[in-house]
Amino acid sequence: MKTVVPLSDEKLNYAAEMLRLMGHAVRLRIIELLEQHGELPAGAFHQRLDELQPTVSQHLNKMRALGLLRARRQAGQVFYSVAQPQLLKLLQCVRDCEL
């Protein structure tokens, strides 16, 4: 039998916040786009998601603030990538769920 180490309160609280934040279809789609492309400029998201730019910016900023996304500036543009590769496992878990 495998020994299971209990999660710390800090880790549980972070996980709850991360799962709450990722419980939105647009945010899951953002991770899916980054899984496919590795990195995208901020402007590419609203075009590919068919969402308004301010709405997408709010999603990106919330995900970045929690440390889920990485942002870097280059030539006046902000490029986003996944900062927590475990999110890709979450995406696969969603794919594996039956409807």
CA-CA distance, 94 to 79, in Å (whole number)? 25
pLDDT tens-digit series, residues 53-90: 999 999 999 999 999 999 999 999 999 999 999 999 99
| Dihedral Cα 24, 57, 70, 67, nearest 10 deg | -50
Note the residue count of the chain. 99
Helix, strand, coil percentages (3-state) for the chain, rounded to 5, are: 60, 15, 25
pTM for this predicted structure: 0.89
